[in-house]
Amino acid sequence: MSVPGRILLYSAAFVMLASVARYFGLSGITFNLSLTISFIFGGMGIFIFYYGTHKSVYLFISSLFFFSGLLIFLFDNFILDSFSAIILPSVLLMLGFSFVVLFIEDPGKKKLMIPGVVFLLLPLILALYKGTFVFDEFFSAIGEIVSLIWVMIALIGLVLFFIYATGERRKKNGNL
């Protein structure tokens, strides 16, 4: 079985084991939290495996998994006035970030930045048009989110640093 296949298998097994443990009272982890952890680390694992290989489809899908995990986390940990009103902007943001990730992986593909920017700006424009976006609340929410997941952000930054450093060393040695 391939590495990404094993990552998906382990992620699914984690969700199932966490659900069984919760059912029998062995763990207090909720289904949403186990799904969040599975999506974030599964998406990140597959992303790490394919980063630098220029396999855009796998990178795009893995980043969607990762951002879906973050989305589940946000929905689960914050009180939202209207759950249905946030779905479309969230999906658009996930698509935008995924296209930006593809551009970062291969800066030569400048055409990927266009849908990335469009998908990132469209939810903001819609929110500003509807009057539902308030800058003070937005920055306050970002601060609260960062305080909750700062360890995960630090780990992701560390992993991306090592990916970049390894890629640069390979380029120097001509092993690319």
Residue 48 included in any domain: yes
Residue 154 included in any domain: no
Residue 160 included in any domain: no
**φ/ψ bin of 30: left (φ > 0), alpha (ψ from -120 to 50), beta (otherwise):** beta
pLDDT band per the 50, 70, 90 thresholds, residue 173? low
Residue 143 included in any domain: no
**Whole-angstrom distance, CA of residue 29 vs CA of residue 46:** 24
What's residue 99's pLDDT? 92
Provide the percentage of residues in the chain whose pLDDT is more than 90: 5
Number of domains in the chain: 1
Residue 71 included in any domain: yes
Residues 112-171 pLDDT 10s:
889 999 998 988 887 777 766 555 666 666 677 667 666 666 776 776 677 666 665 555
Residues 101-113 pLDDT 10s:
888 888 888 888 8
Residue 55 included in any domain: yes
**Domain enclosing residue 54, as ranges:** 3-133
Residue 140 included in any domain: no
Number of H helices, E strands in the chain: 6, 0
pTM of the shown model: 0.69
**Whole-angstrom distance, CA of residue 66 vs CA of residue 36:** 9
Is 65's pLDDT higher than 80?
A: yes
Would you say 76 and 33 are in contact if contact means Cβ atoms under 8 Å apart?
A: yes
Would you say 31 and 62 are in contact if contact means Cβ atoms under 8 Å apart?
A: no
Residue 7 included in any domain: yes
